[in-house]
Structure 1
Amino acid sequence: MAASPSTARAINDRLALRLLQREGPLTAGRLKQLTGLSRPTVADLVERLTAAGLVAVVGEAGEQRRGPNAKLYGIVAGRAHLAALDVRTEGVAVVVSDLVGEVLAESSVPITGEAGTGPAVERAVALVERTVKEAGADRLHTVGIGAPGLIDPASGALRDSTGLPEWHRHLVDALQERLPEARVSVENETNLAALAEQRDGAAGDRDTFVLLWLGHGTGAAVILDGALRRGASGGTGEIGFLPVPGTDGLPSATDCAGGFHSLVGAAAVAELAAEHGLVTAAAADPAAAEAVRAAAREAGPASAGARFLDALADRIVVGVASVVALLDPGCVVLGGEVGQAGGEALASRVRDRLAVVSPLPTEVRASALGGGAVLRGALLTARDRAQDELFGSPVPWCSDPAG
């Protein structure tokens, strides 16, 4: 059945906006070439989008061209402003961007466990408000939040999790109260990191892969056939609780100590580095990533750094082999600060060990985004939600849309 005129217009408008978002400013002639639409149809849609405040003339195609056909049309970046938050156990980072994703302001603030729930929430909300002001934005259209812990798949809310600060759960409600016009949503940090690695990082050519997060916490995100998999309770990827050999016991329902996390969490990695004489203390999380980075940079065949990376790879492959045996993803990205710090030196070691214990061919890649992947993923999802609302609901890609 043929699409109605209004449906056809909506499809064409959406197609043009997505092209402008992906390619940048375009002339009407170039839009005609890329969409396959007729010249009058392109002229009509440009007029509609301009009248709606979504598109504006941003320049001309070249010095030798003048007139209507030379006008460059681009998305009105200031049509909406977005915020992304990376909420950690020890603080919050925030960025504010325009509708096309250009970062206008960013900031972070440490928040210690001694602050108390109310003061911690207030400090985080104040950071967002201050960053919005610095960006020159009047208000926010969409706020995307990445946080550790489980997200309830039914309500989209952050579930109560033992070991995580109480203020995490109250932050979403506080932001919604202080920013009543904004659309606020929260997603697991590792899931956001995987989406960012797929869009802008190490998994850009993969529609099926697993991201193994190696940082303060330990987690995994599963992308199968282009879709993020969350599981029945939102707990897909809670690999830190995986019972593994080499620990002092078994994890419990409320504590991942004794699970895979006890082998590859930042504290365990820092302790392993201390055992190899690479750091003098194993207290702070940055010590883990810095030790891995230094070892990867200077790892001669018989050096302490090489022995440390070998030992770390022996630990990591235990979890990776389990994931591969269950999911056969074809690709595992070592993410988080530690995964990025290890680079190819660590990834190649895990890859070699995996080839010995698993019959399934699997690439092992180092993160391209590291700890910044969470914030990037939160910003990308916020931008997608805002554009979906402002541009209209998504439509399938069509090489010959009605027109």
Structure 2
Amino acid sequence: MPASPSTARAMNDRLALRLLQQEGPLTAAQLKQLTGLSRPTVADLVERLTAAGLIAVVGEAGEQRRGPNAKLYGIVADRAHLAALDVRTEGVAVVVSDLVGRILAEESAPIAGEAGTGPAVEQAVALVERAAKEAGAAELHTVGIGAPGLIDPSTGELRDSTALPAWHRRLVAALQERLPAARVSVENETNLAALAEQRDGAARDRDTFVLLWLGHGTGAAVVLDGSLRRGASGGTGEIGFLPVPGTDALPAATDCAGGFHSLAGSQAVAELAGRYGVTATATGGEPRAAALVREAVVAGTEAADGFLDALADRIAIGAASVVAVLDPGCVVLGGEVGRSGGDALARRVEQRLRRLSPLPTEIRPSALGGAAVLRGALLTARDRAQEELFATGER
């Protein structure tokens, strides 16, 4: 059945907007060439999108740079402002951007949960409000949050966990209350990191891969055939609870001590470095475990190499378990530790994985490190805002 005229217009408008998002400002002639639409159809959609306030003339192109054919049309970037949050156990980082993703303001602050849930939530919300004010945003259209822990797939909310600060769960509701016009959503931090690595980082050429998060804690995100997999309860990738040899006990439902986390979490990495006499000074807020791995890669001493070899042994155990079940063909070592280890650590893990598994698997270092969570939160916020606003322009 052929599409109705209104449906066809909607499809054409969405195609043009996506091209303007991906390619930047374009002339009507360029839109015609890229879309394959007729000149009158392109003229109509440009008129509709301009009237809807979604696009505007942003300049001129061509040698003469004058006349209607030279007009460059671009997305109205300040039509909506977005915020992204990376919520960690010890603090929050915030960025505010316009509709095309240009960063307008950045803020971060440590948050001490010992002061109480209420004060911690207020400090985090105030940080978002301060960033929005600095960006000149009268209101925020969409807020994307990355946080550790499980996200309930039926409600989209952060599930209660004794291992996480209480203010984490209160933050989403508090932001929605203080920013009533905003669309607020939360996603697991490792999942967001994987989305960012797929769009802008180490997995840009892969539609199937696993991101192994190596930061304060451990986790994994699974992308199969281009789609993020969350599981029946939202717990896909909770690899920290994976029972592994070489630990003193089995993990429990409320504590992953004895699981993979106890081998590759930040505290375990720091203790392992100490056994090999590797020391480092963290700078610029860099996590200590990441600094130790970075220093070992640079040092190239026998002790440093021994530390990296031992760490690769541990990481390969978790990677081999994931590969045996999913056969992803590619594992990205994410988080601050994964990026600090770079090719030196990835190469060691890949060598060990070849001995543990018959399934060919490429191991890649993260291109974004800890910044991937914030980038992923911003990308999802932008996608959600554009989806809604672009649909608005189609009516």
TM-score category by the smaller chain?
over 0.9
Amino acid at match of 2:93: A
Structure 1: unaligned runs, 5 residues or longer: 396-403
Q: 1:94 to 1:45 in 2, by over 3 A?
A: same
CA contact (8 A) 2:280 2:292 kept: no
SS of the residue corresponding to residue 56 of structure 1 reads strand
Identity %: 81
SS of the residue corresponding to residue 355 of structure 2 reads helix
Which residue of structure 2 aligns with residue 375 of structure 1? 374
Amino acid at match of 2:311: L
CA distance in 2, matches of 1:133, 1:102: 16
Which residue of structure 1 aligns with residue 287 of structure 2? 286
Shift of 1:280: 7.7
CA distance in 1, matches of 2:149, 2:173: 16
Which residue of structure 2 aligns with residue 338 of structure 1? 337
Amino acid at match of 2:271: E
Deviations 1:145-166 (A, max 9, x none): 0000000000000000121000
CA contact (8 A) 1:270 1:285 kept: no
CA distance in 1, matches of 2:175, 2:280: 41
Which residue of structure 1 aligns with residue 297 of structure 2? 296
Q: Is 2:173 aligned against 1:164?
A: no
Structure 2: unaligned runs, 5 residues or longer: none
CA RMSD for the aligned pairs?
A: 1.6
Q: 1:24 to 1:96 in 2, by over 3 A?
A: same
CA contact (8 A) 2:280 2:295 kept: no
CA distance in 1, matches of 2:162, 2:362: 34
CA contact (8 A) 1:266 1:285 kept: no
Amino acid at match of 1:292: V
CA distance in 2, matches of 1:135, 1:63: 35
Which residue of structure 2 aligns with residue 141 of structure 1? 141
CA distance in 2, matches of 1:285, 1:86: 15
Deviations 1:93-152 (A, max 9, x none): 000000000000000010113121000000000000000000001000000000000000
Shift of 1:370: 0.2
SS of the residue corresponding to residue 163 of structure 1 reads coil
TM-score normalized by the length of structure 2 = 0.97
Q: 1:289 to 1:122 in 2, by over 3 A?
A: same
Deviations 1:49-101 (A, max 9, x none): 00000000000113433200010000000000000000000000000000000
Shift of 1:366: 0.1
CA distance in 2, matches of 1:259, 1:394: 50
SS of the residue corresponding to residue 249 of structure 1 reads coil
Which residue of structure 2 aligns with residue 39 of structure 1? 39
Shift of 1:231: 0.4
TM-score normalized by the length of structure 1 = 0.95
Which residue of structure 2 aligns with residue 358 of structure 1? 357
CA distance in 2, matches of 1:394, 1:381: 20
Q: 1:262 to 1:281 in 2, by over 3 A?
A: farther
Amino acid at match of 1:15: L
Shift of 1:285: 7.8
CA distance in 1, matches of 2:133, 2:281: 40
SS of the residue corresponding to residue 287 of structure 2 reads helix
Instruction: Give the length in aligned residue pairs.
Output: 392
Amino acid at match of 1:299: G
Amino acid at match of 1:132: A
CA contact (8 A) 1:82 1:143 kept: yes
